[in-house]
Amino acid sequence: MPAEFSRTQRLGEQIQRDLATLIQRELKDPRLGMVTVNFVKLSKDLSYADVNVTVLVADDAPERIAASLAILNQASTFLRTELGRGLKVRKVPNLRFHYDDSLKRGADINALIHQARAKDQGR
């Protein structure tokens, strides 16, 4: 009988929880916007972790989002070291941060639906 959750999935969820706490409490860069860790996808050999984040910045400016991602990627060695203190694994995966625009796309689709409904009610 196969396991309900694989090791990579459990470890990814633990990394997500720990990273969210570390970014919130330990990174003190004022240029960094509010960061939400959406999900973590680990490679099969657990050597890399692709961390998808959403960054809340003032005007959703692409250059501010790119700057926040650059800050996170520069801090990845610090974050990896701190993760290693809490995780019970032999080797902590390298962290790669990516912007996840699914929330913004969802809000855009929701706005389109509301516009279509308002247009239909106007007829």
16-42: pLDDT as tens digits: 999 999 999 988 888 887 889 999 999
Which two three-digit tokens encode residue 87?
Answer: 């995780």
Q: Is the CB of residue 61 less than 8 Å from the CB of residue 107? A: no
Q: Is residue 89, in this structure, part of any structural domain at all?
A: yes
The answer, yes or no, to whether residue 2 has pLDDT greater than 70, is no
- What lies within 8 Å, CB to CB, of 55 at 6+ separation is 33, 34, 35, 36, 64, 65, 68, 69, 99
The CATH number of residue 25's host domain is 3.30.300.20
What pLDDT does 19 receive?
93
Domain total in the chain: 1
Q: Is residue 98, in this structure, part of any structural domain at all?
A: yes
What pLDDT does 5 receive?
65
Model pTM greater than 0.85? no
**Res. 3 pLDDT band, cuts 50 70 90:** low
The answer, yes or no, to whether residue 1 has pLDDT greater than 70, is no
Q: Is residue 2, in this structure, part of any structural domain at all?
A: no
Angle at 65 between CA 49 and CA 33, to 5 degrees: 90
Range of the domain at 66: 7-122
Q: Is residue 46, in this structure, part of any structural domain at all?
A: yes
Containing 41, the helix (H) or strand (E) segment is: strand 34-42
Least reliable range by pLDDT among 10-14, 60-64, 70-74: 60-64
Q: Is residue 17, in this structure, part of any structural domain at all?
A: yes
Kindly report, residue by residue over 70-113, the tens digit of the pLDDT. Answer: 999 999 999 999 999 888 888 899 999 999 888 888 888 999 99
Tell me the sheet residues that pair with 98.
52
